[in-house]
Structure 1
Amino acid sequence: MLDKGEEEHEVRDVLLVEDSLIDAQLMRRLLRRVTSSYYRVTHVRTLNDAVLSAEDFVPDVILADLNLPDSRGTQTVASLQTSYPDIPLVIVSAWEDEAVSLRSVKAGAQDYLVKGHIDGANLHRVIRYAIERKRTELELVRLAHFDQLTSLPNRTLLRERVDHALARAMRAGSGVATLILDMDRFKEINDMLGHEIGDKLLIEAAQRIRANVRDQDTVARLGGDEFAVLLEGVSEAKEVLPVIERIIASLNEVTTIDGHEVKSSTSVGIAMYPENGNDLSELLRAADLAMYQAKSSGRGRYQFFASAMQEEAQSRHALEWALRRAVERNEFELVYQPQLCLRTGTVIGVEALLRWMSPTRGLLTPYHFIAGLEEFGLINEVGEWVLRTACEQIRRWHQMDLVPMRIAVN
């Protein structure tokens, strides 16, 4: 129960880790002299007692001696940081040593004070600045490791968690499943209803995915409408399937956003450690290939990675490279098939047919490359070339005083 004086001031809880009773009493007196804040001090004499206190006590700041009966030097800082990662730490030591001070701050302390050179006002100011610096530090960490829209871990934090998960799996001889989820029709929804609705749909999707996995599992946003899920302690597909089916069913449900009923679904690709990869890059690449296969098979489906997908992906990559080179080197050509009048037998027109003179495969019909042009975003560029080339050919025929004829472009 706070008395009247306490209620009128800002109240801060201080964990004081100090083995000297005399120094502890001095710190209490200095804090009592502060008129603008009320400091409620909890005193422990060893590092072990401080660590045990972390189970049920969350202070606003920690004041700690560097040398304790059970810890010395920067090991004290490291241990307190581990037990109280979000709490600012100020070292109060008898060592008046610049090198020790610098090592303490590098180890994670917000400030370093020397005993015998502190007054109440200075201590209050240091505590206030330490709290503000820690708050800024935590915000920077959050910005670096979490997606700003969904508050999920981002790719950077996912990489750290995957590294730890794979290390644990290696020691335990267990497996890890990496899932990539890509929302179907998201661009269409985003373009039709606007980015604000699209953002809210992503937030809702993130919450639904998170609700369908265990607390120890990681859900991350990779960017855009793509998410990743890390499932630890799974070795077989049958252990992963219930989670995937719950996620897909949840994301298939209609979402009402700002009066709009939005129906979406998700395609999921799954890669297993150690069968499909030994690090994040390999696992994401395998899961991405599987997701692409699931999306090609229809919406709202899942697919486990298979080695044949890698071969298919390599073939697609080779085709894309070859088609882009074909555009740059003008390897496409038109052939013209005459159209005859059945009554007179005269040529009344031609049909322009696209062919690709591949340096390695010879003359190819559109059956072999049209789908690739569409998939790799080259179809418009090639289509414009076809129309321009056909029109130029008609002009040349006219200049040769040939009988005018119509041309069809296929």
Structure 2
Amino acid sequence: MAAPGYILLVEHQADHAAVLQSLLQAQDGASDGFPFIGVRVTQTLEAALQLLDAEPDCAAVLLDLKLPDTESLSAIRAHAPDVPVLVLVDAGGAGSGLRAVLAGAQDYLVRHRLDGALLMRALQYAGQRLKVEAALIERALHDTSTGLPRRRLLLDRLGVAMKRCTRDGSSGALLLIELNGLKSIPGALNHLAYDAVLRIAGTRLSGVVRSSDTVAWLGAHEFAVLLPKESGLLEALAIGEKLLASLREPMPAAHTGMELSASIGVVRFRDATESPDSLLTRAHDAMPNVGKDGKGRVRLL
């Protein structure tokens, strides 16, 4: 288990910061509730972001909503997406606090009503809430059967890769994979066996590519592999051949007699002039051309 991190207090008024810091320090190192070690105080958003970059082991952020920078919450969230953020409001500021929660904060606190115990409970609940939110997002973006990213996450990562290519002049590739041979699954065990084969295929495809690449399940018998940075067409085609070879490996004993293969289409990109969704749709529409010369091939789309 990782050691507890520090609490970052972003408060532009020194007297308010002193009161909150005193409440926090009285709870420092507590074994129950919300464990943390140390309190860091900054008066500006810029200083807070610099601290988060220099010392990423932050356990929670208490953020003054009255900072001059109106984008403080979104900036903190972007720098520390895995850290719970609680915003601080004055009496009568519940409306601002609720808007902050809708914008990504885990909770809001009225600073003049705080005591040590209440502050610790709020931090504890905020941490739990963030974990639940992360789990829900994980389930929404990943297929529960294969464990692979879904279409939405693939498109997000494809968009990032296309923008990077625009900036640095590099190129990337998207490989669409249509599995063949699934009709040979025994009908009596169709559903369970089908899911098992998809998991096997996903594991094999993931074993071929780099950690920086993305293997996604698009539904039915379709997968995709995103190569956010490749050295050229030959590399993309070579990876496609390796993916095919991995799928042709003998199946486990539970699926003896079944042969798995695929047809793979490769589309390359060098910039973000086309939207990720448009690129994926265009590649999908061109996939029937891959099988015209026979299945089990890699073709440029």
Among 19, 24, 27, the alignment partner of 2:24 is: 27
CA distance in structure 2 between the partners assigned to 1:284 and 1:299 by the alignment: 21
SS in 2 for 1:178: strand
Q: 1:63 to 1:170 in 2, by over 3 A?
A: closer
Deviations along 1:312-348, one digit per CA (max 9) or x if unpaired, are xxxxxxxxxxxxxxxxxxxxxxxxxxxxxxxxxxxxx
1:1-400 equivalences under 5 Å are 15-18=7-10, 20-29=17-26, 31=27, 37=33, 39-46=35-42, 47=48, 48-54=50-56, 57=57, 59=59, 62-66=60-64, 72-93=68-89, 97-189=93-185, 191=187, 193-234=189-230, 236-256=232-252, 258=254, 260=256, 262-273=258-269, 278-305=274-301
Q: 1 or 2 for the larger relative contact order (CA 8 Å, sep ≥6)?
A: 2
Letter in 1 for 2:198: L
Identity %: 30
Gaps of 5+ in 2: 12-16, 43-47
- Name the count of aligned residue pairs: 287
Letter in 1 for 2:64: L
Instruction: Using the TM superposition, give the Cα deviation of residue 263 of structure 1 relative to its aligned residue in structure 2, in angstroms.
Output: 2.8
SS in 2 for 1:135: helix
Instruction: Using the TM superposition, give the Cα deviation of residue 250 of structure 1 relative to its aligned residue in structure 2, in angstroms.
Output: 0.9
CA distance in structure 1 between the partners assigned to 2:85 and 2:70 by the alignment: 12
Instruction: Using the TM superposition, give the Cα deviation of residue 218 of structure 1 relative to its aligned residue in structure 2, in angstroms.
Output: 2.0
Preserved contact between residue 17 and residue 50 of structure 1 (Cα < 8 Å): no
Preserved contact between residue 28 and residue 36 of structure 2 (Cα < 8 Å): no
Q: 1:163 to 1:37 in 2, by over 3 A?
A: closer
Gaps of 5+ in 1: 1-10, 306-410
Preserved contact between residue 90 and residue 110 of structure 1 (Cα < 8 Å): yes
Letter in 2 for 1:15: I
CA RMSD of aligned residues (A): 3.1
Instruction: Using the TM superposition, give the Cα deviation of residue 121 of structure 1 relative to its aligned residue in structure 2, in angstroms.
Output: 3.5
Deviations along 1:18-51, one digit per CA (max 9) or x if unpaired, are 563453122232x369895363333212312233
Instruction: Using the TM superposition, give the Cα deviation of residue 182 of structure 1 relative to its aligned residue in structure 2, in angstroms.
Output: 0.9
Q: 1:209 to 1:271 in 2, by over 3 A?
A: same
Letter in 2 for 1:292: P
Q: Which one has the largest radius of gyration? A: 1
Instruction: Using the TM superposition, give the Cα deviation of residue 96 of structure 1 relative to its aligned residue in structure 2, in angstroms.
Output: 5.2
Preserved contact between residue 252 and residue 300 of structure 1 (Cα < 8 Å): no
